[in-house]
A and B are shown apart, each in its own frame.
Chain A
Amino acid sequence: MGIDPVNYKRKINISWLFNMAWRDSRKNRSRLFLFISAIVFGIAALVAIYSFRYNVQNDVNGQAATLIGADLSVSGNKPAEPKLKHTLDSLGDQRSTERSFASMAYFPKTKGTRLVQIRALQGDYPYYGTIETTPESAGTAFKKGQTALVDKTLMLQFGVNVGDSVRVGKELFLIAGTLNKAPGQSGAMAGIAPVVYIPMQYLEQTGLMKIGSRVNYTFYYKYNHKVDMDKLTKKLDPVLDKAGMNYETIEMRKENTGRAFGDLGRFLSLVGFIALLLGCVGVASAIHIYVREKIASIAIMRCLGVKASEAFLIYLIQIVGIGLIGSVVGAALGTAIQHLLPIVFKDFLPFTISVEISWLAIWQGILLGVIISILFALLPLISVRNISPLNTLRISFDEAGSKRDPMRWLVYLLIIGFVLGFTYLQLDSWLGSLFFTLGILIAFMILAAVAWLLMRVMKLIINNGWSYLWRQGFANLYRPNNQTLILMVSIGLSTAFICTLFFIQSILIAQVNLSNSGNQSNMILFDIQKSQKDAVADVTRKQGLPVLQQVPIVTVRLEQINGKTAADLVKDTTIKIPHGVFAYEYRVTFRDTLSASEKLLDGTWIGKAEAGKDIPVSVEANLQKRAHLKVGDKLVFNVQGVPMPAYVASIRKVNWGKVQTNFQVVFPTGVLEDAPQFQVLLTHVPSNKVSAKFQQAVVKQFPNISIIDLGLVLSILDELLSKISYVIRFMSAFSIITGIVVLIASVRISKYQRIQESVLLRTLGASRKQIFAITALEYLFLGSLSALTGILIAVAGTWFLAKYSFEIPYAVSFIPAFVLFLIITILTVIIGLLNSRGVLNKPPLEILRTNA
């Protein structure tokens, strides 16, 4: 016989590969479904969030006109000068004007009073959309008489109805309608600053338009024909800028609103991505074990002539298929969940949110799911290429061999690149994405290192002196085919993610939960005229309330720092002072001593200014940091038009936690005494009843004074925060569910590895109780150690986030962390035991047969 040439270049038969992939998966579907379930929730979260984002984007585009209510709005905080007034009056085909300011509203029927936002309106505004009222006609009709529209929460609070009256300043208005929603206002905003609309023609009579009151002047314009807004605003821009006025067009509102909710969407996407990443850990560990179990099959195939690449492709096809199914299921679930998001977020959005199936979101979710399944399955999958046919003769999976595979590094690189890229798409900041990716990488490495250490230590310390059960249980941690690394990483990472979310959430909430107890001030009276100062203090004392503080306040602007002005900032970009430092209107006070809540950090406190010299001021530490100030720096303040040269004499640290009047800049006495100013008075009211009575008394006598009831503000904030924390919890639920699924998956897949061993033990005569105890010990140890490591990672991560990302004081509560620790540990043990129950209850032979 001659020698036939070998056909080395056999083509890859794709349909056969698919056929083999299908056949090969047949007996392992349940295991592959574990892999599916790990990514389903992550994909669901992302699809829901993407759909929500796209819908919000559409809604913003569709509703932007009704949010602003006009084609153009111009606003400023002082009346327009005659020349500007002329320009303003020449704009638009229809015009409306609005003045808004904070003031007390008083309801004579129930004697209720509260700080509200008064909007005096003249003209046919809004031109797009409506002022939503009950009855509907009231939205336009109220401008005809001495009538008002009152926010619905306010009406509820004080038990007043349409037809009752409300007093604003000196005037009484008939309530013409309930204000359901002011244009562009969200539910949450309405709770903090409820709006009362009055007709402009009655504003003067209220007597609230005194010099020094902080009033916002807004002009609304409507064009009946098409106008090039860009061109118009470009012309208008310098004029308005000089007058210190702002303007907004529909297009700008679209962008601004879009950007604001883009941030929200980005945050949500990241939370979803974390859920997905958790799922990825599940994918990687499931496939890792899957491939191990397939070594024999792969070796046989290789023996029969299947090429390394073909074997790899057979399993890749399975992964893609199963990843696709998981992603489709996830996308379907996400589309369903999407319906919940508007309910969750409706209080935070100033427009109605539509719920529509977003095919773009669905496709993105599915694509992402498939990419992620492949990427994370690739790590264990590439070792398929290195499985030698020699394994048919002698099982010896050489893991060291696959670790040297350079492809591994390529896959690592791809994964890191993917996480970085995806995070960048969400965050739009390379630095943020870098930190995010790095954080996850470090957490991963810590967990892997702990697992590695654990195995080393166990190997060293276990000796024959230990009881059989303990030896066996702990030896399971390092013996071949152990689950230590995979369970450590997946349980640890899940715990870390969940715990971090939890910590951050509680820190954010604690941040705003100012204490409302003790003899601290909880009521602030402001806008007190200099002449009313003593009379107001009298009224307060007469009601039996303490005058805790009485402070003069002067509004000033910062004009120069060491000779540099705002204009210099624009010209010279090397100056490191933020624009806000100059634009900000500082409310300063003057006194001759430091208050109890202040601490001197640098320089010397000077309580009295010397005539003719620069004024020594004290600067608060945060402002000092922001504006890069140091003791001795020259400043020029503009006090109501008068320039005042000053210098930084001292730097103070202020305890902002207490409700007090705290100031960024404190002047010495002897300078501002004659400047236009108003007074603030702080008192403590013991109950809501006293508060109401006191507010009535003040408002009756001094209608211009505004009162902030911190108790009320706190309860509103509380309500708002509980809504926010609900949103956070809602989102973290995805991570938690995924974490549990991954936990179940990781423990379940380890079952298939443990079966052979347990059966062997049972064949050798181990009792069910003994196997039970061995399993429990192993999982107890793994569960507790990984949960502990995860929590420690979360503690470190939270510290980092609190310090650098949220810039809030760091504090974690260890009791919830401990509870989480217990839950995760117990869950691991329970799932571990539930899984081995199958082994315990069946006769060994049956198990050997079905799992052969």
Chain B
Amino acid sequence: METILNILNLSKTYQSAGRMLTVLNDINFNITEGSTNAIVGPSGSGKTTLLGLCAGLDRSSSGSVELNGINLGNLTEDQRAQVRNQYVGFIFQNFQLLPTLTALENVMVPLELRNEKNIKARALDLLDKVGLADRGHHYPSQLSGGEQQRVSLARAFSNAPKILFADEPTGNLDAETSEKVVKLIFDLNKEAGTTLVLVTHDLDLAAKTQRIIRIKGGKLISNEKTING
């Protein structure tokens, strides 16, 4: 199996109020292509920071992040944007849909950026997969949280990413809706063969993945296969 994400001696420190704050301390792990993974840890342990680094949204203080064989540390912000557009999908805790675009347009954006063809049909197809085919013309403010998150799922899969990062995707949803969204994530993931990296503090959700990476206080404490793995 090939490695799609390779994290080597990764550290991140913030300078805040004149003090150095080490948020991530010498993290190492690999993620194989097509696998499903969870990063778990208590609140404030550095999960979001780690995810941001893995997805190339931020720069590390030391160590390297290699995504699909590309060392993100060597790229400019614009080049990383291209990498994100071509390889990476995102799902956020608070959905992060563009408020001035309709659901359909939100799904279309990554495709449009890649100058693809049949954009509208493909976006509609994706909306259909998340069960929102008839809500395409609605703006995010007209959708419920669960619906918004489903639109964001459709958007995340629209550019057929190699790897999907999800930061507490069910954090803002009620239990019932969460279940639906989680099912969708795993179904779509399976269908597309995408690698999944899921950040959560929900151990039940984590248990559905093949591998669990635990961090605490910015340190990696374990990296184990689950029964699914």
The interface of chain A, by Cβ under 8 A from chain B, is 1, 3-4, 6-8, 10, 13, 16, 19-20, 23-28, 296-297, 299-309, 388-390, 392-394, 849-850, 852
- Among residues of A, the one whose C-beta sits closest to the C-beta of B90 is A303
Residues of B within 8 Å of A305, CB to CB, are: 81-82, 84-86, 110, 113-114, 159
Residues of A within 8 Å of B70, CB to CB, are: 3, 6
Are B81 and A302 closer than 8 Å at their CB atoms?
Answer: yes
- Rounded to whole angstroms, the CA-CA distance of A306 and B85 in the bound complex is 8
B96-104, B123-131, B201-209: which lies at the interface = B96-104
- 19 additional A-B pairs beyond A302-B81, A304-B109, A390-B52, beta carbons within 8 Å, are A6-B79, A10-B85, A10-B113, A10-B115, A13-B112, A23-B101, A27-B139, A28-B100, A299-B96, A300-B98, A303-B90, A304-B85, A305-B113, A305-B114, A305-B159, A307-B82, A390-B58, A393-B52, A394-B48
Are B115 and A301 closer than 8 Å at their CB atoms?
Answer: no
Are B58 and A388 closer than 8 Å at their CB atoms?
Answer: yes
Are A23 and B105 closer than 8 Å at their CB atoms?
Answer: yes
- Rounded to whole angstroms, the CA-CA distance of A302 and B98 in the bound complex is 12
Are B84 and A392 closer than 8 Å at their CB atoms?
Answer: no
Are B57 and A27 closer than 8 Å at their CB atoms?
Answer: no
Which of B48, B52, B113, B140 has the most C-beta atoms of chain A within 10 angstroms of its own C-beta?
B113
- Rounded to whole angstroms, the CA-CA distance of A26 and B48 in the bound complex is 32
Are B57 and A297 closer than 8 Å at their CB atoms?
Answer: no
Are A389 and B78 closer than 8 Å at their CB atoms?
Answer: no
Which of A6, A304, A307 has the most C-beta atoms of chain B within 10 angstroms of its own C-beta?
A304
A688–chain B nearest beta-carbon distance, Å: 72
Are A27 and B100 closer than 8 Å at their CB atoms?
Answer: yes
Residues of B within 8 Å of A393, CB to CB, are: 48, 51-52, 57, 92, 167
With A1-B33, A3-B69, A305-B110 already in contact, the answer to whether A389 and B81 are too (CB < 8 A) is yes
Residues of B within 8 Å of A8, CB to CB, are: 78-79, 82
| 3 tightest A-B CB contacts, nearest first | A305-B85, A3-B69, A27-B100
Q: Which residues of B137-173 are within 8 A (CB) of A?
A: 139-141, 155, 159, 167
- Rounded to whole angstroms, the CA-CA distance of A318 and B31 in the bound complex is 42
Residues of A within 8 Å of B140, CB to CB, are: 852
- Rounded to whole angstroms, the CA-CA distance of A304 and B152 in the bound complex is 11
A305–chain B nearest beta-carbon distance, Å: 2
Residues of B within 8 Å of A308, CB to CB, are: 77-78, 81
Are B86 and A26 closer than 8 Å at their CB atoms?
Answer: no
- Rounded to whole angstroms, the CA-CA distance of A346 and B118 in the bound complex is 65
Residues of B within 8 Å of A392, CB to CB, are: 57, 90, 92, 96
Residues of B within 8 Å of A852, CB to CB, are: 99, 140-141
With A6-B70, A392-B92 already in contact, the answer to whether A304 and B141 are too (CB < 8 A) is no
B210 at the interface (CB under 8 A from A): no
B61–chain A nearest beta-carbon distance, Å: 14
Residues of B within 8 Å of A297, CB to CB, are: 98-100
Residues of A within 8 Å of B84, CB to CB, are: 303-305, 389
- Rounded to whole angstroms, the CA-CA distance of A606 and B61 in the bound complex is 90
The residue from B48, B82, B96, B110 contacting A10, defined by CB atoms under 8 A apart: B82
Give 25 CB contacts A-B under 8 Å.
Answer: A6-B83, A6-B87, A7-B82, A8-B79, A8-B82, A10-B82, A13-B112, A16-B112, A23-B100, A23-B101, A24-B100, A25-B100, A296-B99, A299-B96, A304-B90, A305-B114, A306-B85, A308-B78, A309-B78, A389-B57, A390-B58, A392-B92, A393-B167, A852-B140, A852-B141
- Rounded to whole angstroms, the CA-CA distance of A390 and B23 in the bound complex is 15
A200–chain B nearest beta-carbon distance, Å: 81
Residues of B within 8 Å of A1, CB to CB, are: 2, 33
- Rounded to whole angstroms, the CA-CA distance of A745 and B141 in the bound complex is 25
Which of B69, B82, B98, B167 has the most C-beta atoms of chain A within 10 angstroms of its own C-beta?
B98
- Rounded to whole angstroms, the CA-CA distance of A392 and B105 in the bound complex is 19
- Among residues of B, the one whose C-beta sits closest to the C-beta of A294 is B100
- Among residues of A, the one whose C-beta sits closest to the C-beta of B142 is A849
- Rounded to whole angstroms, the CA-CA distance of A25 and B101 in the bound complex is 10
The residue from B96, B115, B167 contacting A300, defined by CB atoms under 8 A apart: B96
Residues of B within 8 Å of A850, CB to CB, are: 141
The residue from B33, B57, B79 contacting A303, defined by CB atoms under 8 A apart: B57
Residues of B within 8 Å of A389, CB to CB, are: 57, 81, 84
Q: Which residues of B45-98 are within 8 A (CB) of A?
A: 48, 51-52, 57-58, 68-70, 77-79, 81-87, 90, 92, 96-98
Residues of B within 8 Å of A7, CB to CB, are: 82, 86
Residues of A within 8 Å of B99, CB to CB, are: 27, 296-297, 852
Are A390 and B57 closer than 8 Å at their CB atoms?
Answer: yes
Are A303 and B105 closer than 8 Å at their CB atoms?
Answer: no
Residues of B within 8 Å of A306, CB to CB, are: 81, 85, 113
With A10-B82, A390-B52, A852-B140 already in contact, the answer to whether A3 and B68 are too (CB < 8 A) is yes
Q: How does the 8 Å CB contact mask read for B171-199 relative to A, with 1 for contact and 0 for none?
A: 00000000000000000000000000000
- Rounded to whole angstroms, the CA-CA distance of A756 and B101 in the bound complex is 22
- Rounded to whole angstroms, the CA-CA distance of A474 and B115 in the bound complex is 51
- Rounded to whole angstroms, the CA-CA distance of A308 and B84 in the bound complex is 13
Residues of B within 8 Å of A301, CB to CB, are: 98, 109
A276–chain B nearest beta-carbon distance, Å: 30
Are B96 and A296 closer than 8 Å at their CB atoms?
Answer: yes
- Rounded to whole angstroms, the CA-CA distance of A270 and B133 in the bound complex is 58
- Rounded to whole angstroms, the CA-CA distance of A351 and B99 in the bound complex is 59
- Rounded to whole angstroms, the CA-CA distance of A141 and B105 in the bound complex is 83
Which of B83, B90, B96, B167 has the most C-beta atoms of chain A within 10 angstroms of its own C-beta?
B96
- Rounded to whole angstroms, the CA-CA distance of A302 and B90 in the bound complex is 12
B135–chain A nearest beta-carbon distance, Å: 16
Residues of A within 8 Å of B112, CB to CB, are: 13, 16, 19
Are A304 and B58 closer than 8 Å at their CB atoms?
Answer: no
B15–chain A nearest beta-carbon distance, Å: 12
- Rounded to whole angstroms, the CA-CA distance of A301 and B101 in the bound complex is 12
- Among residues of A, the one whose C-beta sits closest to the C-beta of B89 is A304
With A303-B57, A390-B58, A392-B57 already in contact, the answer to whether A26 and B100 are too (CB < 8 A) is yes
Residues of B within 8 Å of A3, CB to CB, are: 68-70
Residues of B within 8 Å of A13, CB to CB, are: 112-113, 115
Residues of B within 8 Å of A19, CB to CB, are: 112
A728–chain B nearest beta-carbon distance, Å: 45
- Rounded to whole angstroms, the CA-CA distance of A7 and B92 in the bound complex is 26
The residue from B68, B110, B139 contacting A304, defined by CB atoms under 8 A apart: B110
A746–chain B nearest beta-carbon distance, Å: 23
Residues of A within 8 Å of B86, CB to CB, are: 4, 6-7, 305
B26–chain A nearest beta-carbon distance, Å: 22
Are B78 and A307 closer than 8 Å at their CB atoms?
Answer: yes
B16–chain A nearest beta-carbon distance, Å: 11
B80–chain A nearest beta-carbon distance, Å: 8
- Rounded to whole angstroms, the CA-CA distance of A6 and B159 in the bound complex is 14
- Rounded to whole angstroms, the CA-CA distance of A850 and B69 in the bound complex is 44
- Rounded to whole angstroms, the CA-CA distance of A20 and B106 in the bound complex is 11
B157–chain A nearest beta-carbon distance, Å: 13
Are A24 and B98 closer than 8 Å at their CB atoms?
Answer: yes
Residues of A within 8 Å of B51, CB to CB, are: 393
Residues of A within 8 Å of B141, CB to CB, are: 849-850, 852
Q: Which residues of B34-54 are within 8 A (CB) of A?
A: 48, 51-52
Residues of A within 8 Å of B83, CB to CB, are: 6
- Among residues of A, the one whose C-beta sits closest to the C-beta of B92 is A392
